């Protein structure tokens, strides 16, 4: 029995030593196997999403512009990897953007054969790197209060359709964007609050959104079916709804040519979309910051001698009566001075100026059959252009629902 006891005593320290050496060598072997492997940016973000709660992930996400600034400050060695991370980061930002929830959900029953062409392109208003397709309208969009824009492309074997969703800080900016950017004619589809359509295109306004769904490439069959279904689904996903701005509601509907309405909130929009029709106005002096915007539309009266004769009406609703009076008097004096100057230089003998104090109308005769009329009452101010007959001009202005001003009668009886 004694030899057995001695054996056990000798084996125990040997086994302990072996286990200790194994525990030391195994991590080293593990390190030698994993050291050469470098986790790709995609894997990094996958692990990030697996290990962290959603809120902490959103707090870590920064805009592509901020990422780009970080890239510039990092050493040259890390530039390649950081650019890859920037691409992945941009995809994450787009995927988490709430606007993505408004996009159509593709399925084979409604959209057979259609797939996403890319992960989408998101532009936020504080990012100066504006996409090429927005470059011409950048300043106008900022004036209208643009918040962000999401562009998503879809494709079949032969066609490509772009869905562009514009989100504004206020519904008035979205309504303005629809009036100045939309293409085509009025749509009969129940899409948005106001809509227009053309071949392979639908534009509509709803709430704080202006939506543009159009085919950018047509190779075979028309993609109009996709355009219609996608527009309807997006419209349904936009829960918030609004009626047009008050000044748009006050714009007379009788004899108005539908689809000619254009609504602007500031001078930049006016200069770009009104000046070709109404060029005699300094839009910087319309005090639009003290207004609910300015709207124009074309009108055609049956009494007109020419069937194609159109009169343009501009209507502005100010916050106060005093601002409306200021604008009216300023333009009245400008036109009157121009008429007097022409009389002195004998440049335009036909030009005349007349003020009807009773109706608060200033009538300007530019030439033989070309009149401009200005009218102000309360907080409303209107201009009628392209008038060939004074009576037609007065009728157009009479269509405006001018506010009723009741003055308190002054008693002649002395106390």
Quote the CA–CA distance of 186 and 258 in Å, as a whole number.
8
Q: Are strands 201-206 and 209-217 parallel, antiparallel or unpaired?
A: antiparallel
When comparing pLDDT for 5 and 197, which is higher?
Answer: 197
pLDDT at 304: 58
Quote the CA–CA distance of 352 and 330 in Å, as a whole number.
18
| 37-52: pLDDT as tens digits | 444 333 333 343 343 3
Rg (CA), the chain: 34
User: Does the pLDDT of residue 414 top 70, yes or no?
Assistant: no
Assess contact for 364 and 353: CB atoms under 8 A. Answer: yes
CB-count burial class (<10 Å; 0-12, 13-18, 19+) for 374: buried
pLDDT at 183: 93
Assess contact for 129 and 244: CB atoms under 8 A. Answer: no
Quote the CA–CA distance of 20 and 33 in Å, as a whole number.
21
pLDDT at 307: 61
| 316-333: pLDDT as tens digits | 999 999 999 999 999 999
pLDDT at 33: 43
When comparing pLDDT for 7 and 310, which is higher?
Answer: 310
pTM exceeds cut of 0.85: no
Measure CA 410 to chain center.
Answer: 51
pLDDT at 302: 72
When comparing pLDDT for 55 and 243, which is higher?
Answer: 243
Which CATH number does the domain 246-398 belong to among 3.90.1200, 2.60.40, 3.30.450, 3.40.1000? 3.40.1000
User: Does the pLDDT of residue 393 top 70, yes or no?
Assistant: yes
Average pLDDT over residues 368-385: 92
| The domains spanning 98-237 and 246-398 adopt the same CATH topology | yes
Question: For the chain, what are the domain ranges?
Answer: 41-96, 98-237, 246-398
Q: In what order do the strands lie in the sheet with 370-377?
A: 262-264, 291-299, 311-318, 380-387, 370-377, 361-367, 352-356
Give the other-Cβ count within 10 Å of 243's Cβ: 10
Closest to 342 measured CA to CA, from 328, 353, 355, 358: 353
| 166-193: pLDDT as tens digits | 999 999 999 999 999 999 888 888 898 8
pLDDT at 158: 87
Quote the CA–CA distance of 144 and 137 in Å, as a whole number.
11
pLDDT at 293: 96
User: Does the pLDDT of residue 388 top 90, yes or no?
Assistant: no
**CATH class for the domain made up of 98-237:** alpha beta
Out of 181-185, 188-192, 265-269, 377-381, least confident range: 188-192
């Amino acid at each position: 029995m004694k030899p057995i006891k001695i054996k056990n005593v000798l084996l125990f320290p040997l086994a302990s030593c072996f286990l200790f050496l194994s525990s030391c060598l195994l991590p080293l072997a593990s390190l030698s196997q994993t050291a050469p492997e470098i986790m790709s940016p995609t894997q990094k973000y996958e692990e990030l999403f697996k290990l962290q709660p959603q809120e902490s992930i959103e707090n870590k996400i920064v805009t592509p512009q901020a990422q780009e600034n970080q890239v510039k400050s990092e050493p040259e060695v890390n530039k390649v990897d950081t650019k890859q991370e920037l691409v992945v980061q941009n995809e994450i930002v787009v995927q988490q953007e709430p606007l993505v929830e408004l996009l159509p959900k593709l399925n084979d029953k409604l959209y057979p054969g259609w797939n996403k062409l890319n992960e989408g392109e998101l532009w936020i208003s504080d990012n100066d790197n504006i996409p090429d397709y927005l470059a011409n309208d950048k300043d106008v969009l900022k004036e209208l209060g643009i918040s962000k824009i999401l562009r998503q492309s879809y494709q079949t074997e032969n066609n490509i359709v772009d869905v562009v969703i514009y989100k504004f800080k206020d519904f008035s900016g979205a309504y303005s964007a629809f009036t100045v950017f939309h293409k085509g004619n009025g749509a009969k589809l129940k899409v948005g609050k106001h809509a227009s359509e053309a071949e392979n295109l639908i534009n509509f306004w709803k709430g704080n959104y202006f939506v543009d769904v159009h085919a950018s490439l047509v190779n075979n069959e028309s993609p109009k079916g996709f355009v219609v279904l996608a527009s309807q689904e997006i419209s349904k996903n936009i829960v918030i709804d609004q009626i047009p701005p008050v000044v748009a509601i006050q714009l007379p509907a009788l004899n108005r040519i539908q689809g000619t309405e254009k609504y602007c909130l500031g001078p930049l929009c006016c200069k770009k979309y009104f000046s070709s029709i109404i060029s005699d106005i300094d839009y910087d002096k319309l005090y639009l910051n003290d207004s609910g915007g300015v709207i124009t539309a074309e009108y055609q009266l049956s009494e007109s001698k020419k069937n194609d004769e159109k009169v343009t009406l501009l209507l502005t609703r100010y916050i106060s009566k005093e601002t409306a009076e200021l604008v009216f008097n300023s333009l009245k004096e400008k036109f009157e001075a121009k008429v007097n100057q022409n009389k002195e230089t004998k440049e335009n003998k036909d030009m005349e100026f007349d003020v009807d104090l009773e109706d608060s109308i200033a009538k300007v005769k530019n030439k033989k059959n070309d009149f401009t009329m200005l009218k102000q009452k309360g907080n409303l101010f209107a201009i009628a252009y392209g008038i060939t007959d004074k009576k037609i001009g007065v009728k157009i202005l009479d269509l405006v629902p001018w506010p009723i001003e009741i003055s308190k009668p002054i008693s002649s009886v002395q106390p």
